[in-house]
Structure 1
Amino acid sequence: MAPMSGLTAEFTVSDYLIHRLHEAGLRDVFTVPGDYVARWFDYIDDKARNLGSQLNRLGCRSELEAGYAADAYGRINGISCAAVTYGVGAFSLINPVAGSYVERVPTVAISGSPGTGPADRPFARTYKILLHHATGNYGADRDAYEDITAEAIIISDAVEAPAMIDGALGAALSEKRPVYIEIWRQLWDAPCAKPENPLVIPALPVDQDAVDAAAAHVASLIKAAAKPLFWGGIEVQRYGLQDGFAGLVDQTGIPYVTSLLAKSVLAETHPGFIGTYTGPSSDYSTYNTVDLSDLVIVTGDLLTDDYEGFVGKDFRQMVVAYDSTVRVGEAYYFQVPLSAFIEALSIALKGAGKREPWAVKGPAVIDPDFKPFPPDVITYARFFQRMLTWVEADMTLVPDESSSMYVSCNIPVNRANGFVSEAAWGSIGYASAAALGLSVAAPNARPVVFAGDGGFQMVAQTVSTMAVYQRNPIIFVMANTIYGIEQALTNDKAYTEGQPFNPFNVIPAWDYAGMAVALGAKGVAVTTLAELENALSMVKADTGAVWLVQVNLPKDDIPQEILRLATNVGPTPPETI
């Protein structure tokens, strides 16, 4: 079969990039077209080419959608890719890539750029014109990515392309961070050498003396502590260390919590699991366990300002192992990767015996309505109380940065990696587009999105992409015409005392269910509990379609969990609520 679109029969830079991405574990690329990158798409789409290393291309409606989908895909698959054009595409992709950087996802951002062709850089220099999509600084895109990637490179020579591609992909997989690869557009067809050896993934630097010293220090504190507690973090998942972490918990008998970002790092049926700790918005048993612990060992997690009260109180008594550094109080041990630390700590604790449980895992609790509402209407509390029994193990929960995030984390997840949230970067709108990526990376786990209407409006067109590629997420749009979490954080008295909502937090009402149908999906709007029950049965049974459920809520409703987060007041015992 002849190559399509006039593709050369020679092995090119395009082929090299496809082969290495496939070797790294990639199977799908999320794309937005543009003339500088389009030629690479021809190579991907030619299914007679690159046999054994083929990639699937999924066209997205915007760079924001492509980036969020790629980020979520990478959390499950271990590597992901979004490909866009120069300037307008690359700059639009920055926000998703920054989220991948903060939350340690090896997303490969690929951009084509002006090269040495007859209408590119030489022409622009001769005639003193500005090329389209360019700022005039032809390194600007790469420069913009330097602080949010492990490597940001521009490939301008076909001879150098293999080594540069290998270096960037190796950095992404080693550091679990995104990389930016920009390629001059005439190089897509340029011949280059084929891969001769496997892709090298550099090992993280290890100082064995520091590893042993850190493990011995932490082991001594654990042995002396009356109520030690592990905190399972996101690096446990990113580096594939679930078995090692679970073994450490089983060996010691020490219970564990997770952060919101790392929820479901292990299946939450594990007997040592206490709950998801989210600071003051946590449920009572989880909050109380963390508060009573006299030693918290944070294992592979970054700490955000959600935990400012905890960190401020316990800074000198806590252990944080993250990003190849172990901090024990105010002492630091460098070049200690988490894998080496977990292994060394397990060895250092051999013979210490298994502790009797000191923390009691409470039942999953959703706070009730914070004020009276008519008994038949849907509220946040009533909706998520129903989710406790409606959600099944083959679903992946995807809450957006919204009023739903800090209440949905109380839903038990009985499968590892069954909860995905952008809890640290926190870009609203992430979840809906992320569900596209998750449905591609793990087609047997149906994504269930809990989105605020404000966030959903930012990426609503992703429903069309889902329908085109016959994906099957369920998107619950919690519709109340308010950026609820923002309102609570800026003035919670709008809920508790009836003060006016901030005008900048008020958003227009959309017919989300009708829009879903217009975009090729299925939609239904619900306002009462009876309507919700009917919708829940319908969408669960229809496993082959995209469903959007517009959940109409009272405008003045907000989860108590969000109010606690806003006021920094911890939970009260359930029996007093």
Structure 2
Amino acid sequence: MNPLPDHFTVSDYLIQRLYEAGLRDVFTVPGDYVARWFDYIDDPARNPDTPLTRLGCRSELEAGYAADAYARLRGIGCAAVTYGVGAFSLVNPVAGSYVERLPVVAISGSPGTAATDRPFARTYKILLHHATGNYRADRDAYQHITVAAEIIRDAAHAPAEIDRALGLALAYKRPIYLELWRNLWDAECARPQGALAVPKPPCSQTAVTQAAAHAAARITAATKPLFWAGVELQRYGLQDAFRALRVQTGLPYITSLLAKSVLAETTVGFVGTYTGPSSDYTTYQTVADSDLLVVTGDLITDDYEGIVQADFTTMIVAYDNAVRIGAATYSDVPLAEFLAALAAALKDQPARQPWATKGSATIDPDYRPFPPDLVTYARFFKRMETWVEADMTLVPDESSSMYVSCNIPVNRANGFVSQAAWGAIGYASAAGFGLSVADPAARPVVFAGDGGFQMVAQTISSMAHYGRNPVVFIMENAIYGIEQALTNSATYTEDQPFNAYNKIPKWEYAEFARALGAKAARVATLEHLETVLAEVKEDRDHVWLVQVVLPERDIPSEILRLATNTPPSPGQ
């Protein structure tokens, strides 16, 4: 390593501001344009009061997903990669962070003014490695999936540009992209001046007051109003404010899949996690019976198209700095101000008597007979209901496990993490790594489809290398099961053939995981599953991969109900 300079540099500035914002760890993939910044992070003497830890990842997908999950618990995440090949590979994870409102800092180094960089390319008419020829292409790719995308070219302006972008990330809970010319890593710059400024989103007090009064009138007039608690409550630290409003009003509440565990699910008034037709019966019926849905800070996706079509003209939706009440929209209304104003507008109203109570969310039974000794989705997740403990964080992938796992009770706030809106398969395994770094006391338990796992399988190596202890259950049936159900559910109900494009190759996942340094087991029977579950729970010092072999034509009934838009029946 070349010795680090004696003066204060742009690298130091970036480290100190990231630390001030709450970051402690950076997920990285090396490359020559960004590697010099890693020298600064890895030198414990360089910034002793604001140290960051660098964790090397096996791919940009892993780094981005890990940073996204880390941000869900720590309030900010960071992935650092090289120009071109690295930055473009990081686009998908950053897009997910943008959709699901997470301040992830994507950092890239790029060609600068060094003798072998831009001047050399201009003089000799050559293309620099990792470049497309358009040296703004990386930044341009990020402009629509970040709240700020900056190319930092000058050390004198670097502090202001870094501060502005970081402030926007924290204010709007969205990612940012910072691309630094590589000659700036050692360039001298000013030290931070004062605290990092975080701008406040636009706020119209008139609109806040009007929106709260309108919403309060609707709630007062409704017979069965129902709160829909959303993910912005967690992102903006408003969980206590929502809990107080719920106690004040006495109203019951549901969550979406994205916002599951926004409060501990032992909280008074909690009914269940609403996932449209795949919901448990009590939750589904409560939503159907309600005459007013009050959405507080949630992103509504097409998972909820049925209820939105039915209730669009009456429902209240507070999200993304605005409030919609039926056809009326109030702009520049931050969620925090709206919750406070709504509480004030309802202060003279007595708390409602409970009209809905928490249901007994249950796993649907097997939809067809299987030999009684085999592991199936229903039998496995039924066992998870009692195996999972409060210090575990559940992380289902976008797979056949996602909708069934939401029936597992989570008795700790922020104890369930899913990428339920963006839905990139493979997210959960790398997210388990990021969560284990963000909160070492909470053990991630990942439920991954075998297809999604194959996209980021090397993350097991990162977990083992850094001594992390997630548990990764691979639900193995060699099929993109949820895709098959959505494209042709009759495959499962009428034994029609699988679509060829939904078949995936079989792997020996347990052997693979052992080769990467993890503990592993392969189970196919309920008896063997019990033995392995006991061993996994006893061993909290190692990462475990459990290959759960399933019948090829097994699928959770919850997925079939989702695919066929079939509401649940009593008992489901």
Whether the TM-score (by the shorter chain) exceeds 0.5 is: yes
Q: Sort the TM-score into its range (normalised by shorter chain).
A: over 0.9
1:22 equivalent in alignment to 2:19:
yes
Task: Kindly report which structure 2 residues correspond to 1:278-427, keeping only aligned pairs within 5 A, or say none.
Answer: 278-427=275-424
Question: SS of the residue aligned with 2:178?
Answer: strand
1:553 has 2:540 as partner: no
Matches within 5 A, 1:238-257: 238-257=235-254
Letter in 1 for 2:385: L
Pairing 1:38–2:35 present: yes
Counterpart in the other structure of 1:112? 109
1:317 shift after superposition: 1.1
* AA matched with 1:289: T
Q: Please report the RMSD computed on the Cα atoms of aligned residues, expressed in angstroms.
A: 0.6
Residue 364 (structure 1) shift? 2.2
Match for 1:23: what amino acid?
Answer: E
Q: How far, CA to CA, are the matches of 2:299 and 2:394 in structure 1? A: 21
Helix, strand or coil at the partner of 1:6: coil
Structure 2: how far apart are the matches of 1:303 and 1:87? 33
Q: Deviations over 1:139-188 (max 9, x none)?
A: 00000000000000000000000000000000000000000000000000
- Does residue 216 of the first structure (1) align with residue 209 of the second (2)? no
CA contact (8 A) 2:70 2:434 kept: yes
SS in 2 for 1:96: helix
1:538 corresponds, among 535, 540, 546, to 535
SS across alignment from 2:536: helix
Q: Which runs of 5+ in 1 are unaligned?
A: none
Conserved 8 A contact 2:252-2:357: no
**C-alpha separation in 1, matches of 2:178 and 2:23:** 15
Q: What is the rounded CA distance, in whole Å, between the counterparts of 1:189 and 1:336 in structure 2?
A: 43
User: CA offset at residue 351 of structure 1?
Assistant: 1.3
Task: Tell me, yes or no, if structure 1 residue 179 matches structure 2 residue 176.
Answer: yes
Q: CA deviation at 1:5?
A: 3.0
Question: Are 2:492 and 1:513 aligned?
Answer: no
The amino acid across from 2:214 in the alignment is H
Q: How far did residue 235 of structure 1 move?
A: 0.3
Q: Which residue of structure 1 lines up, in the alignment, with residue 433 of structure 2?
A: 436
Question: Quick one: distance in 1 between partners of 2:524 and 2:342?
Answer: 52
SS in structure 1 opposite 2:149?
strand
Q: Deviations over 1:338-381 (max 9, x none)?
A: 00000000010001001111012111210000010100000000
Deviates more, 1:361-370 or 1:519-528: 361-370
Deviations 1:405-446 (A, max 9, x none): 000001010000000000000000000000000000010000
Q: Is 1:195 aligned with 2:192?
A: yes
Mapped partners of 1:232, 1:312: distance in 2: 19
Indicate whether 1:77 and 2:102 are aligned.
no
Matching residue's letter, 1:374: P
* Distance in structure 2 (CA, Å) of the matches to 1:26 and 1:149: 18
Q: What is the TM-score of this pair, normalised by structure 2?
A: 1.00
- Partner in structure 1 of residue 228 of structure 2: 231
Are residue 484 (structure 1) and residue 478 (structure 2) matched? Answer: no
Which position in structure 2 is the counterpart of 1:452? 449
Q: Secondary structure at the match of 1:7?
A: coil
Superposed CA offset, 1:1-42 (max 9, x none): xxx631101000000000000000000000000000000000
Q: 2:314, 2:8 → 1: CA distance?
A: 57
Alignment length (residue pairs):
572
Structure 1 runs of 4+ with >2 Å offset: none
Q: What pairs up with 1:44-63 in 2 under 5 angstroms? A: 44-63=41-60
Matches of 1:564 and 1:52, distance apart in 2: 54
Structure 2, unpaired ranges of 5+ = none
Displacement after TM superposition at 1:189 (Å)? 0.3
Distance in 1 of aligned mates of 2:132 and 2:367: 51
**Residue 81 of structure 2 corresponds to residue 91 of structure 1:** no
- Tell me the distance in 2 between the aligned counterparts of 1:532 and 1:309: 38
SS of alignment partner, residue 185 of structure 2: helix
